[in-house]
Amino acid sequence: MLFSSAVFLWIFLPVVIAGNLLFEKRFSNLFLLLASLFFYAWGEPVLIVLIIFVIIWSYFIGLCIEKCNNKKIALFIGVSGDLLLLGYYKYAGFLVMSINQATGASFNVPEIALPIGISFYTFQAISYIVDVYRGKVKATKDPLPVAVYISFFPQLIAGPIVKYSDVESRLHERKMTAEGFATGFRRFIYGLGKKVLIANVLAKCADAVFDHGAANVGMLPAWMGALAYTFQIYYDFSGYSDMALGLGCMFGFKLPENFNYPYLSKSITEFWQRWHITLGAWFREYVYIPLGGNRKGKGRTYVNLWIVFFLSGLWHGADFTFLLWGMYHGALSFVERMGLKKLLDKSKVLSRLLCFIAVSIGWVMFRAKNAAEGVSMIAAMFTPAAGMKLWELGDMKTAAVALCAVSGCGILQTLLPEKLTKWYRESLLEVIVCGGILFFCLAALAMEEYNPFIYYQF
């Protein structure tokens, strides 16, 4: 079930909001848990067993860590269990296929359905177990808070990745206020607008290029397709994150921000501080720092960074395209650390432009059907050749949406005076704008069935 679907907007969300208001506080968590499990089961009823298993596993491992004498063994068993589950469902087929390609063997490649959101909820489960081990949080004797934390539907299938300590107090005591609901609903509408009115339109342009094939697109259309996907994935994912944060606020939770205008970054290092912030923070806290971070010399720092970028690529999907994308960002990060960043810092405009171009090229590999096609498309971007006509990529509506996409990725927000922004937030104009966005989103969803979501597969 997508946030931008009619079933969610017209039925599920109103029922959950009404139910959460009607039930007493002591039953609120139970109601949210049942609603979240129903939300998850809507798309794949059978695989709901997995998330229930992760909940029970995390709860008992947390208690075991707190009570047993050898906490390290309990930690190892707990984390290994979650990783094995993730590894089997997400990477088993890719591993067998890679072995076949490398050795010439002919093992049967298992066709395993990928559970929605498994990368997100297993990472949250691992963070709970590790934080209990570190003493940052106490293992709760009541399984309900852990169950709601892992399965909470706003951030279940696309994040943000939340640590238990971020929401622990709200799980035990929270209030739904009119102000919080209004703030959350406004954030949800802006996110819905990003997804439906911008990302969905640009998706058609990007698909037209990538489906046409690198050999047939031509240089300019290849760049247009790459840029269309660059903005599509930002508005698609950040829009979904905005909706998640808005829903959390509506139900009395404060979820962490996941984006901070990443395309304004002056370096790849800064980009990863602004893009998918919670994933970067997770890898930093649970992988990079435990490996030694930057405390053991430059050589070890580069190795640790390489591991993080490799795992980040692998986390996104079981395909060489994602691995190459992660290693590409790792290589750019190394070059910056070796001195390029100091040169780029001398010009804010040039550094932002080069960083944006580098990120856009990386997204081509991320979007490609396979690694060979990704390399060919990148080559097409730098090879003058005839191909698709520009009018095949879209119409005036696409051009207008692209202009809005460029303006709204941080440029307009940076240029507007703070006083004007504050006035807008407190004025009737924002109410009218939000009403207009909601109306056009509902109209678009009613008229069109094309409603993809990129991070749904992760």
Q: Residue 159 and residue 240: Cα distance in Å, rounded?
A: 9
Confidence of residue 61 (pLDDT cuts 50, 70, 90): very high
Q: How far is CA 428 from CA 135, 184, 189, 435, in A?
A: 47, 17, 16, 11
In contact, 451 and 196? CB cutoff 8 Å: yes
Catalytic choice (172, 212, 276, 316): 316
Top-ranked range on mean pLDDT: pick from 5-19, 95-109, 180-194, 440-454: 180-194
Tokens for 318?
């079981």
- Other C-beta atoms closer than 10 Å to the C-beta of 29 total 20
pLDDT at 6 > cutoff 90: no
Q: Which residue from 286, 304, 306, 285 is spatially nearest to 294, judged by alpha carbons?
A: 304
Q: Which residue from 263, 381, 271, 259 is spatially nearest to 332, judged by alpha carbons?
A: 271
Element (H, E) at 341: helix 341-344
Task: Give the tens place of pLDDT for each residue, 107-127.
Answer: 888 888 888 889 999 999 999
In contact, 217 and 209? CB cutoff 8 Å: yes
Phi-psi region of 127 (alpha: psi -120 to 50; beta: other; left: phi over 0): alpha
Residue range 393-415: mean pLDDT, rounded: 88
Tokens for 368?
């490609």
Burial (0-12, 13-18, 19+ Cβ within 10 Å), 441: buried
Per-chain mean pLDDT for the chain: 89
Rg (CA), the chain: 23
Q: Is 299 strand, coil or helix?
A: helix
- SS3 readout for 354-381: HHHHHHHHHHHHHHCCCHHHHHHHHHHC
Q: How far is CA 69 from CA 65, 74, 82, 363, in A?
A: 8, 9, 22, 47
pLDDT at 39 > cutoff 70: yes
Q: Residue 135 and residue 119: Cα distance in Å, rounded?
A: 24
pLDDT value of residue 457: 61
Residue range 442-453: mean pLDDT, rounded: 77
Q: Pick 299 or 372 by higher pLDDT.
A: 372
Confidence of residue 361 (pLDDT cuts 50, 70, 90): very high
Q: Which residue from 268, 276, 261 is spatially nearest to 315, judged by alpha carbons?
A: 276
- Other C-beta atoms closer than 10 Å to the C-beta of 315 total 20
**Alpha carbon of residue 68 to chain centroid:** 36
pLDDT at 443 > cutoff 70: yes
Residue range 293-302: mean pLDDT, rounded: 84
Q: Which residue from 91, 254, 256, 79 is spatially nearest to 159, judged by alpha carbons?
A: 256
User: Helix, strand, coil: what percent of the chain each, to 5?
Assistant: 75, 0, 25
Q: Which residue from 361, 426, 445, 346 is spatially nearest to 182, judged by alpha carbons?
A: 426
Task: Give the tens place of pLDDT for each residue, 216-268.
Answer: 888 899 999 999 999 999 999 999 999 999 999 999 899 999 999 999 999 99
% of residues, the chain, pLDDT over 90: 57
pLDDT value of residue 318: 85
pLDDT value of residue 456: 61
> For residues 291, 295, 300 and 306, what is the CA-based torsion angle, rounded to 10 degrees?
60
Top-ranked range on mean pLDDT: pick from 13-22, 93-102, 264-273: 264-273
Residues 6+ apart with CB under 8 A from 350: 344
In contact, 242 and 187? CB cutoff 8 Å: yes
pLDDT value of residue 373: 93
pLDDT at 432 > cutoff 90: yes
> For residues 273, 274, 277 and 283, what is the CA-based torsion angle, rounded to 10 degrees?
-30
Q: Which residue from 65, 31, 71, 264 is spatially nearest to 153, judged by alpha carbons?
A: 31
pLDDT value of residue 422: 84
Residue range 321-347: mean pLDDT, rounded: 86
pTM over 0.85: yes
pLDDT value of residue 458: 62
pLDDT at 389 > cutoff 80: no
| Residue 316 appears among annotated catalytic residues | yes
pLDDT value of residue 88: 93
pLDDT at 382 > cutoff 80: yes
